[in-house]
A and B are shown apart, each in its own frame.
Chain A
Amino acid sequence: MILEGAIIYSNLLVLLALGLTLTYITTNVPNFAQGSYAIVGSYVALTLLKLFDINPYLSLPVLFVVGAVVGLITYLALKPLLKRGASVEILMIATLAIDLILLGAIGAYSEILSQIVGSTQAKFVFANLDFTLFGFKGILFVSTFVIILLLIGLYLLLYKTKFGIALRASMENPSLAQTMGIDVEKTRLFSWILSGALACVAGGLLPFMQEIVPSTGDLIIISIFAASIVGGLRHISGALIGGYIIGLSESLITYYLSQAFGTGFLVYGKVISLIIMILTLLIAPYGITGVDWRKVKKMLFTS
């Protein structure tokens, strides 16, 4: 039962971390607004549910489009700074500002929605809408299905199309790709759109497992960064590995600690992911995918 929750959480974390890693690779921006993208998705799903009675699972394609627009707007807002060659601190502050704008917009929207629906919508869950299959929650299958779909899609895109080759080239070495005639601008645009879209889809699934308030995004951003950093911010598969490591350990370690020390421990999940992140930074600053495994093997065998 607890493993089920851990897997669902990890799946969603992978979706969020993948976007973060993607935009970091292409534009070198650590995006603090990633958590709030997800909450935008949650509220759009809530709106569709309350006003048009659409099941949140069916609104996922809509969320994908909405997220793409949010990602695009973020990129356009950052573009003047990127063009000027602003330092990474300035870009981080800019994403913090975008995060704050999104938080304000979500909070304001949640109150407007409350007035339209006639009851308070500041806090909500979708868990009561979920179906069960073979004794498991439906969200387990849906989130896993989304991940598989995403991986197949990414694989086909990155390895089977011309655009994918261009994308990989500009991730590896943007200036070299540019001299080879690849439009790096297009790949950047693509990465931001995809990043927003994935985060919004994750946000539509998130209310199935935890309560959403407008500031939830500020909370989950720690886990997202932990996942991306543990996996390695320089490689796209890092998000996949890191997402599962952080997601599973955050849920499982917290669960076992709470069994040992009482339920009060459950709120410290974020502390666990923080500790794992700091340990990773100290031992392997570039994450698991950044480690030169051949060297490690050599070291182990010679000693």
Chain B
Amino acid sequence: MIIEIISLILLWFGIYYIVSLSLNMEFGYAGIPNFGKALSVLVGAIAVGGILDRLLILYFGVGGDFITGTTYATSMLNDLIASNPIVGIGILILAIILASILGFIVGAIFILPSAKLKEDYLGVTLLAISEAVFLICMYNLNIIGGYYGISTPDILAFVPGEYRGWAFTGIVLFIAFLVYLFFERLLNTPFGRVLRAMRENEDTVKAFGRDIMMLRIKTMAIGSAIGAIAGALYSLYTVNIIANAFTRVEWTFFPFLMVLLGGKGNNKGVALGVLCYVVVKVLLDVYKYNLKYTLNIPFEPVWLSYMLFGVLMLLILYYKPSGLIPEKPIITPPMKKKIMEISNK
């Protein structure tokens, strides 16, 4: 039991860390209030459910409607993966590539309507676009199966059932680590510093000849590509996609909670924030019925968790607006050299 809980915590840590890192670049570094983060995760699911599944249906030549077609096509593929692990890994890589390309394109388009908008209008527009796409995906059964849901391939069909959770956790953590390295490298460049400058004062950045819109497009494209990878991993882990899972609360509000709890603009702080949230979330998920019956709560514990996390967010905003580990000033190598010289004297 304990082992399973630890595995779940690590898995969710990996998935949410990927989402939060991308949000941290958009919101923590570049100052874009991306209240449509859920869209990028949904795009990852579309890449797996809408594109990869369709390719499989075409490849295996399954007839019939889309929703049942995915069930047959994925079970055929799972048989193939069970005998040949390379196929499973190939499908994983293909899914990640598809998701990041689609996320990149969607992210770049997503930000376009907001060319001239100030922060508040920008946030509202992003939220509205994300919510509208979510509604379309929910009610149109031909995209990713809507509220009925569709199957996705089990890329670890060759792993015995009891080890599957751990194997997948390993993969997710490995990818999360790669994403972390990617962002650390990317944001410690002049690009990362210009993003911070844009957050602090757009006019100054403009005065130095940088195109604000181009910076925003680049940020959102990269951020959405990474968010989509998390969405693809999540859909591959659960082996099915139900559009209801990609809500604003789950994939926009909670990532914001994690980023703000950990400390925006600080990737290590965000890791701490994600860990805190995920531990509470998984424990609540696992023990929700024990909690319900021991405390005699007359309603589903999910509502209680909403109230709890809402209050937690307000408390963070009141008392720890810069998070558990605040952002540190940037020290570039030339600055470091100068500091060393001064301290040596």
Q: Which of A268-297 contact B (CB under 8 A)?
A: 268, 270-271, 274, 277-278, 281-282, 285
Q: Report how far A271 CA is from B135 CA in the complex, Å.
A: 9
Q: B residues within 8 A CB of A281?
A: 113-114, 117, 121, 125
Counting chain A residues whose Cβ lies within 8 A of the other chain, the interface size class is 35 or more
Contact with A along B12-45 (1 / 0, CB 8 A): 0000000000000001000101010000000000
A267 in contact with B249 given A87-B119, A229-B124 (CB within 8 Å): no
A94 in contact with B313 given A88-B119, A107-B303 (CB within 8 Å): yes
Q: Report how far A15 CA is from B241 CA in the complex, Å.
A: 38
- Whether B65 is near chain A, meaning CB under 8 Å from some CB there, is no
B313 and A104 contact, CB distance less than 8 A = no
Return B165 CB to nearest CB of chain A, in Å. Answer: 29
A268 and B113 contact, CB distance less than 8 A = no
Interface segment out of the listed B148-156, B186-194, B207-215, B294-302: B294-302
Interface segment out of the listed A53-61, A108-116, A154-162: A108-116
Q: Which of B304, B306, B307, B311 has the most CB atoms of chain A within a 10 A radius of its CB?
A: B306
Q: A residues within 8 A CB of B125?
A: 277-278, 281
Q: Report how far A84 CA is from B319 CA in the complex, Å.
A: 11
- Whether B326 is near chain A, meaning CB under 8 Å from some CB there, is no
B256 and A96 contact, CB distance less than 8 A = yes
A104 in contact with B248 given A90-B321, A111-B298 (CB within 8 Å): no
- Whether B166 is near chain A, meaning CB under 8 Å from some CB there, is no
Contact of B310 among A80, A84, A101, A268 (CB under 8 A): A101
Which partner residue on chain A sits nearest B249 by CB separation?
A100
Number of interface residues of B (CB under 8 A): 47
A104 and B123 contact, CB distance less than 8 A = no
Q: Which of A68-100 contact B (CB under 8 A)?
A: 77, 80-81, 84, 86-90, 92-94, 96-100
Interface segment out of the listed A126-134, A138-146, A194-202, A218-226: A218-226
Which partner residue on chain B sits nearest A94 by CB separation?
B317
- Whether B111 is near chain A, meaning CB under 8 Å from some CB there, is no
Contact with A along B106-131 (1 / 0, CB 8 A): 00000001111101110111011101
- Whether A30 is near chain B, meaning CB under 8 Å from some CB there, is yes
Which partner residue on chain B sits nearest A110 by CB separation?
B299
B132 and A274 contact, CB distance less than 8 A = yes
| Number of inter-chain CB pairs below 8 Å | 132
- Whether B309 is near chain A, meaning CB under 8 Å from some CB there, is yes
Q: B residues within 8 A CB of A278?
A: 113, 125, 129
B256 and A267 contact, CB distance less than 8 A = no
- Whether A8 is near chain B, meaning CB under 8 Å from some CB there, is no
A77 and B314 contact, CB distance less than 8 A = yes
- Whether A40 is near chain B, meaning CB under 8 Å from some CB there, is no
Return A234 CB to nearest CB of chain B, in Å. Answer: 11
Q: Report how far A77 CA is from B114 CA in the complex, Å.
A: 30
B306 and A104 contact, CB distance less than 8 A = yes
Q: B residues within 8 A CB of A117?
A: none
- Whether A105 is near chain B, meaning CB under 8 Å from some CB there, is yes
Return B300 CB to nearest CB of chain A, in Å. Answer: 6
B304 and A115 contact, CB distance less than 8 A = no
Return B36 CB to nearest CB of chain A, in Å. Answer: 12
Q: Report how far A86 CA is from B119 CA in the complex, Å.
A: 13
Q: A residues within 8 A CB of B256?
A: 93, 96
Contact of B303 among A98, A99, A111, A222 (CB under 8 A): A111
Q: B residues within 8 A CB of A109?
A: 299
A30 in contact with B120 given A96-B35, A101-B310 (CB within 8 Å): yes
Return A221 CB to nearest CB of chain B, in Å. Answer: 8
Q: Report how far A87 CA is from B123 CA in the complex, Å.
A: 13
Q: Report how far A63 CA is from B314 CA in the complex, Å.
A: 26
Q: Which of B114, B123, B128 has the most CB atoms of chain A within a 10 A radius of its CB?
A: B128
- Which B residues lie at the A interface, using CB under 8 A? 27, 31, 33, 35, 113-117, 119-121, 123-125, 127-129, 131-132, 135-136, 139-140, 248-249, 253, 256, 260, 298-300, 302-311, 313-314, 317-318, 321
5 shortest interchain CB distances as A-B pairs: A104-B306, A101-B310, A104-B307, A111-B299, A97-B313
